[in-house]
Amino acid sequence: MSAKTKTGPKTGLKHGKNEEPPPQPKKRFGRRYRRAQVVGGIFGGLIVLSSAYVAANWLLAERVTAGTTVAGIDIGGQTKTQAIATLESALSPRAREPIQLTAGQNTTNLDPVAAGLSFDADATVGNLVDFSLRPTRLISHIRGGSQEGLPVVHINEQQLTLAAQSAARALHSEPRNGTVVFSDSRPVATEAQVGLEVSPEEITEAVRENWLQQPAPFALVGTETSPAVSQAATDAAYTLAQHIVSQPLTVVLGQQQVILPVADLAAATTFTPTNGELVPQFRGTELKQAILDKADNLIREPQNAHIELVDNAPVIVGGAPGTDITEESIVAAISQGALAADRIANVELIEVEPEISVATLEALGVSEVVSSFDTPLTANVVRTNNLRRGAELINGKLLLPGETFSLLSALNPINAANGFGQAGIIVNGVHQDGMGGGLSQLATTAYNAGFFAGFEDVVHRPHSVFISRYPAGREATIVNPSLDMQFRNNTPYGALIQSWVANNRIHVAIWSTPYFRVETSQSARSNVRAATTNTSTAANCTPQSPGAAGFTITNRRQVFRLDNDALVIDESNTWTYRPDNGIRCASGG
């Protein structure tokens, strides 16, 4: 800065040596100039520095800050192009690797490509190298630093949702109940396990936050689901099972005692989940069999009462009660005894009434003969034997109220093994031998017994030709198995059939309580046609003489109740017999 000089006024006078010069005015313009020079220098320096700062940031805009990493990959100091290449090389293969997910003990993989996940290296580096005037960025470039860049990930939401739902199902585990079973008569327990429920939303969140940033596996929390039978309940049941098979069980049954070994108890016991507990269930069927195998004649079957014909009169016999033990009483006793300290089970013996008691049969009122019928036998021994065997099979047959009697059902099988033989029958008008020949006479006799008892006629058909030993139009034949003779007991009482062969006749009687009164009438024969003789050319022709004439006849039956004389049945049956023509063989046989 220039020196300041002082000058006095131009007066022409010279001051003395000791005189002070008069004050002079200051020159302000020089100071302002010098200050401006200083400010201008500073401003110029700032411009230079700013230009250098901007230039430096511009030059570093395409370079990643030193110390920068992305998903653990160091790209610090690299140019944008170099950094993209580095991340592509390092992360693109990783972006295709399956993502391992874990939840508890369960593991599954999620395919990132199928889940719609992709890594964008360009965008990732772009977020790190953009031009910036922040001083911290320039300082980081100069001094270096530690910066973690986030990988840019693109997500197809629909694909990720579907993949997460599939992974959630794979990670799901059902809770497992604790169990207790017996193996070789020893209790064996299976531990209870909690289940795990993982939501798809938790999976998508974990993938968004961790993929390419954190190493797999990604641990998911999920939600635990409790088993219905907990470990505490399992432990309690196991202790109970140990007690059940700790030693044999004594079963008291009236005057008997049975020792049930541990093996029988274990074999018949199951622990069943009930309201969160394992409850022992004892199987009555197996326990009952185990007890009966060791007991001495414990069970006595009841004897049904039945009616027998003694000295040609019905007598009720049998009807004794039996003894038994029920499965319910066994289970109740074992359930208590197997868990008790004394290990004694008291099982009650019960008395079992027969299905058919004496009182039941007495109420049926089988007390007297209400109808009977008989027909004469022939001289054919085999035929008579067939009738005798048939009488044995239907003798003593009891019909309950409303029950239907079937002759074929009572007789079958009609074969030699059942006591029948070959005797005369009529087939298509031809007299020949057949198995059970003569049983139609039993059908006729039984039909008439039911007829006069007032029973309902269910099925019957007369013979095709008239046979003089039977009542005309009021008789029946049978053909096994197509044609049966049946009647129904339409009274409120039981009906006992009695049948026998005596005095060259076959008899059928019905024992019951009188309930009906039966009136019958018969028309005269009409449409009478004499039998003729026909010529046969059959190779096996057998001649036969003409028999009875053909005719039509009607039988009427009226059935009245004895107590009120009400008419119950009023029926008429008309039947036409064809002539029993003879046969002349054309060969002269």
Mean pLDDT of 551-556: 98
Do 168 and 203 touch, CB atoms closer than 8 A?
yes
pLDDT tens, residue by residue, 388-417:
999 999 999 999 999 999 999 999 999 999
Ramachandran quadrant class, 97 (left: phi over 0; alpha: psi -120 to 50; beta: rest): beta
Mean pLDDT of 422-430: 81
Q: How far apart are CA 267 and CA 183, in angstroms?
A: 9
Do 513 and 370 touch, CB atoms closer than 8 A?
yes
Among 87-91, 230-234, 505-509, 527-531, which stretch is predicted with the lowest mean pLDDT?
A: 87-91
3-state secondary structure 80-99: HHHHHHHHHHHHHHHHHCCE
Q: What is the pLDDT of residue 139?
A: 52
Mean pLDDT of 574-581: 96
Whether the model clears a pTM of 0.95, i.e. scores above it, the answer is: no
pLDDT tens, residue by residue, 125-178:
888 886 444 555 545 555 555 678 788 999 999 999 999 999 999 999 999 999
β strands within 331-483, DSSP E: 344-346, 350-352, 368-376, 397-399, 404-406, 422-427, 430-435, 456-459
Q: What is the pLDDT of residue 11?
A: 38
- In the DSSP assignment, the letter for residue 58 is H
Reported as a pLDDT band with limits 50, 70 and 90, residue 180 is very high
Q: What is the pLDDT of residue 6?
A: 39
Tell me: pLDDT of 42 over 70: no
Tell me: pLDDT of 459 over 60: yes
Q: How far apart are CA 424 and CA 101, in angstroms?
A: 94
Q: How far apart are CA 120 and CA 571, in angstroms?
A: 105
Token representation of residue 172: 């799901």
Q: How far apart are CA 119 and CA 115, in angstroms?
A: 13
CB atoms within 10 A of CB 254: 13
Mean pLDDT of 61-80: 84
Q: How far apart are CA 46 and CA 271, in angstroms?
A: 92
3-state secondary structure 541-565: CCCECCCCCEEEEEEEEEEEECCCC
Mean pLDDT of 443-461: 98
Mean pLDDT of the chain: 87
Q: Locate tokens 């009023």: which residue?
A: 570
Reported as a pLDDT band with limits 50, 70 and 90, residue 325 is very high
Q: What is the pLDDT of residue 47?
A: 59
Q: What is the pLDDT of residue 297?
A: 86
Does the CA dihedral 563-568-569-570 come out positive or negative?
A: positive
Tell me: pLDDT of 566 over 50: yes
Cα separations (Å) of 442 from 52, 86, 436?
140, 113, 11
162 CB burial (10 A radius; 0-12, 13-18, 19+): middle
Mean pLDDT of 290-308: 91
> For residue 211, which of 200, 221, 203 has the smallest C-alpha distance?
203
Spell out a b/e string for 547-580, using b for 16 or more CB atoms within 10 Å of the CB, else e: bbbbbbbebebbbbeeeeeeebeeeeeebebbbb
pLDDT tens, residue by residue, 489-533:
999 999 999 999 999 999 999 999 999 999 999 999 999 999 999
Q: How far apart are CA 22 and CA 5, in angstroms?
A: 13
Q: What is the pLDDT of residue 229?
A: 95
> For residue 495, which of 403, 411, 359 has the smallest C-alpha distance?
403
Tell me: pLDDT of 237 over 50: yes
Tell me: pLDDT of 61 over 70: no
Q: What is the pLDDT of residue 228?
A: 93
Among 104-113, 388-397, 400-409, 580-589, which stretch is predicted with the lowest mean pLDDT?
A: 580-589
Mean pLDDT of 39-63: 56
Reported as a pLDDT band with limits 50, 70 and 90, residue 554 is very high
Q: What is the pLDDT of residue 267?
A: 95
Tell me: pLDDT of 210 over 60: yes
Tell me: pLDDT of 29 over 60: no
Cα separations (Å) of 472 from 17, 440, 469, 573?
202, 14, 9, 11
Spell out a b/e string for 495-510, using b for 16 or more CB atoms within 10 Å of the CB, else e: bbbbbbbeeeebbbbb
Helices and strands of the chain, counted as H and E runs? 14, 36
- Boundaries of CATH 3.10.20 in the chain? 247-359
Q: What is the pLDDT of residue 586?
A: 86
Q: Distance of alpha carbon 557 from its chain centroid, rounded?
A: 58
Do 219 and 102 touch, CB atoms closer than 8 A?
yes
Residue partners of 213: CB distance under 8 A and separation at least 6: 71, 150, 151
Query: Which CATH number applies to 247-359: 3.10.20, 1.10.10, 3.30.450, 3.30.70?
Result: 3.10.20
